[in-house]
Amino acid sequence: MYIPQNKSFESLAYQTPEMDEWQIYPRSINEQDGITYFLCRDRSGSQKRLGISAQLDELESCQEAKSGVWLYPLTATNAAVLRSRLCWLQPQPLGLVKSFSFGDRPGLATPGHIQAVRPTQFAPIFAQQSVRENARTRRTPQVVLDDATWGVFQEGWREPWGADADHIKETIDIESFVIAGYTQFTFDPGDFVDNSADLAASDDLIHKFRNLPWRELYSTPHTLYRDYLERSFHLENHRLSYDETILLRAAVKCGRSIAHVSRLYHYLQDCIQGKPHDIEISVDETEMPTSIHEHFFFARELQRLGVRWTSLAPRFVGLFAKGVDYIGDLGDFAADINGHAAVARELGPYKISLHSGSDKFSIYPLAYQATQGLVHTKTASTSYLEALRVLARSEPAFFRQVLAFSQEHFTKDRVTYILSVDPEKVPPAGGVSDSHLPDLLDDFHARQLLHVT
């Protein structure tokens, strides 16, 4: 097969008789060290193959096309070899640049995500799934990364991109992401946050404070009093101070989660052995908002324990429900994120991260302005919901099965998500005409129900 050189990817066409059954993705064509690589699919669109102008022994299951091009299946082994040969297919830490993360649950949407992010100045994370999501979709960290790799290859994305091991809760979950080659690790200590601290009575608060894991925190009650009481901290245009009650509530609410993040962080450092990476810390899935005093205390104590991170996701005021816009007063949100951003600049700098950021169109400008561009937005499954919209139009009977399944499993699956949905307001699968099924993807309640199931 003859592969023309020095032409724009968009203008290349391959119509040789031997390759008629395959359509080549023009943006995927890449020549390196005298070897040309590309991605192609059969005319039905059901199969994709890696095409190479040479036979490579380290690749598996090759098939020679008549034109002299070798075709290989999209296996994990072949993805790893391709990443080793084309460095731009390897995910990288993104650091402090403004970034946007795409949670692609089916593993099919990366090409579309690239087309969406290409005209922007955001650095993308294309491989991003949590341990919880992988368990539900029966995918693995390696499968998620490989799916993103093939999408990056297909679209010829040459800029840095990241891979996020999302919502890691236990040390046992870290190693598989390290082996796969992830470049960001999001620690979620939410199970160790004491949500009762905000309303606890004085005696209960003191008891909880005395029983914090002081040995793991490498501190004492006396040290904490000395470090925070009867002093104030500079925070841009104002000063932050703690009285005893504010300090006790912050320590009780955050103390065990600080110790847990430290455990996760130092375990990761042993596993990753100096390889560059980003850390995100997520405390967004808690019952009560993160106050500015709590954020400052949480971040300052983590720094004292040697933890370093790139972004942090607080629990903001208002509601960040899945797949719908922000629910709450925009003025309150603006004031809240301005305070959190000031903490991040003073103690960092590090990025403020918006979790459950899907469809939060009303607050994107406010977040960017408050953080001065030090912002990360994490999304999940909006591409999946739009795929369901296509399914509702093209395969209404199958979509009805999906909706019925979702309604059946909603009570169980909603437990681990923040939602604002009344399932009784979602019509039964048989109660909507075919022509109106796509409208369910614009419905406030149906969209959230489908998102989490």
The neighbour count for residue 345, using CB atoms within 10 Å, is 16
pLDDT at 249: 98
Q: pLDDT tens digits for 246-292?
A: 999 999 999 999 999 999 999 999 999 999 999 999 999 888 999 99
One DSSP character per residue, 210-252 reads HTS-HHHHT--HHHHHHHHBT-EEEETTEEEEB-HHHHHHHHH
Q: Where are the alpha helices (DSSP H) in 273-360?
A: 292-304, 330-347
pLDDT at 3: 40
Report the CATH architecture of 89-195+223-378: Alpha-Beta Barrel (3.20)
AA letter at 366? L
pLDDT at 44: 85
Contact 340, 314 (CB under 8 A): yes
pLDDT at 2: 36
pLDDT at 237: 85
pLDDT at 19: 61
Contact 304, 274 (CB under 8 A): no
* Nearest Cα to Cα of residue 2 among 65, 48, 47: 65
On the 0-12 / 13-18 / 19+ scale of CB atoms within 10 A, 328 is middle
pLDDT at 17: 39
On the 0-12 / 13-18 / 19+ scale of CB atoms within 10 A, 288 is middle
> Please, what's the b/e burial string for 355-370 (b: 16 or more CB within 10 A of its CB; e: otherwise)?
bbbbbbeebeebbeeb
Which residues, at least 6 apart from 307, have a Cβ–Cβ distance to it below 8 Å? 261, 262, 265, 279
Strand pairing partners for 212? none
Q: How is residue 346 written in tokens?
A: 């003073």
The neighbour count for residue 77, using CB atoms within 10 Å, is 14
Give the separation between CA 268 and CA 274, rounded to whole angstroms.
10
Q: Mark the ranges of the chain whose per-residue pLDDT is less than 70.
A: 1-20, 66, 381
Catalytic residues, by residue number, are 166, 280
Q: Is the pTM of this model over 0.85?
A: yes
Question: Which segments of the chain belong to CATH 3.20.20.70?
Answer: 89-195+223-378
* Nearest Cα to Cα of residue 311 among 269, 283, 270: 283
On the 0-12 / 13-18 / 19+ scale of CB atoms within 10 A, 403 is buried
The neighbour count for residue 61, using CB atoms within 10 Å, is 10
